[in-house]
Amino acid sequence: MPKYAKSQGEKVVRSSDISILCGIKPDVIRRDFSHFGDFGVRGRGYDIDKLIVQIRKNLGINRKKNVILIGVGSLGTALLKYQGFRTANFNFIAAFDINPKKIGKKIGETIIYNIKEVNSFIEKNKIKIALLTVPTSETIKIINNLDSKYIKGILNFTSTILPARKNNIYIRNIDLARELEVISFCMNRCNI
Ligand code: ATP
């Protein structure tokens, strides 16, 4: 969201502006940013360029990160095509699937490999992050098979809710249907 202000030609952004965009109270934003360092301009806000550099550093996205995707169905294909990952410095270096008709094909720049090759690829390219878009029934099998020596983060798009941490791997469960339920809940609560 500081980038949004930047695109409007602004040099500084206030915690109150950020608060409107992300729905977090300004004092919480100020407290959190104070952990990053001292780049606030007293009474004016935050220097946007410094803020972007610091946030990217804290998110670990100041350098390009190679990621892989497993399961190139409809959702997997859409994610591979999504430009937002590239903007955020994530590069889909490879995708993996079990379906022989898909293996060897390309989605954008990303080649689809046989799932059997996933661990040798991970090891060779020192891949730390995987996105999971396989059928729910395959989730546990795939996770248990992934080389936990290298993989340290999984973005799980299947409906199986996995523990946030497993074998020293950070897991984030993204269930798009659940996100709609949250919207529905908030609307109900506010009688919208
Ligand atoms: P499709 O395009 O094949 O109809 P879909 O969009 O309906 O897929 P799913 O059935 O959820 O979605 O499958 C997602 C993808 O996961 C498919 O491309 C499928 O071939 C792949 N897949 C299924 N099992 C595995 C597995 N064990 N390892 C890797 N990929 C798998």
Please indicate, yes or no, whether residues 51 and 111 belong to a single structural domain of this protein.
Answer: no
Q: Whose alpha carbon is nearest atom 5 of ligand 1?
A: 73
Q: Classify residue 92 by burial, with Cβ atoms within 10 Å: 0-12, 13-18, 19+.
A: buried
Number of domains in the chain: 2
Q: What distance in Å separates the CA atoms of residue 130 and residue 137, rounded to the nearest whole number?
A: 18
Q: What is the pTM for the complete model shown?
A: 0.81
Q: How many CA atoms lie within 13 A of 96 on its CB side?
A: 19
Pick from 99, 114, 140, 159 the residue to mutate for probing ligand 1's pocket: most ligand atoms within 8 Å of its CB. 99
Please indicate, yes or no, whether residues 85 and 148 belong to a single structural domain of this protein.
Answer: yes
Is 90 a domain residue?
A: yes
Structural domain including 47 reads 2-59
The alpha carbon of 143 and the centre of ligand 1 are apart by a number of angstroms equal to 15
CATH number assigned to the domain comprising residue 40: 1.10.10.10
Tens-digit pLDDT profile for the chain (192 aa)?
Answer: 445 777 778 888 888 888 988 889 999 988 888 887 776 777 778 888 888 888 888 877 778 899 999 999 999 999 999 999 988 889 999 999 999 999 999 999 999 999 999 999 999 999 999 999 999 999 999 999 998 899 999 999 999 998 888 878 999 999 888 889 989 998 998 887
Please indicate, yes or no, whether residues 44 and 84 belong to a single structural domain of this protein.
Answer: no
Please indicate, yes or no, whether residues 51 and 116 belong to a single structural domain of this protein.
Answer: no
Residues with a CB atom less than 6 Å from ligand 1: 70-74, 76, 96-99, 102, 115, 133-135, 138, 142
Do the bridges between strand 106-107 and strand 90-97 make them parallel or antiparallel, or are there none, so unpaired? Answer: unpaired
| Ligand 1 atom closest to Cα of residue 138 | 27
CATH number assigned to the domain comprising residue 118: 3.40.50.720
Please indicate, yes or no, whether residues 32 and 94 belong to a single structural domain of this protein.
Answer: no
The alpha carbon of 136 and the centre of ligand 1 are apart by a number of angstroms equal to 10
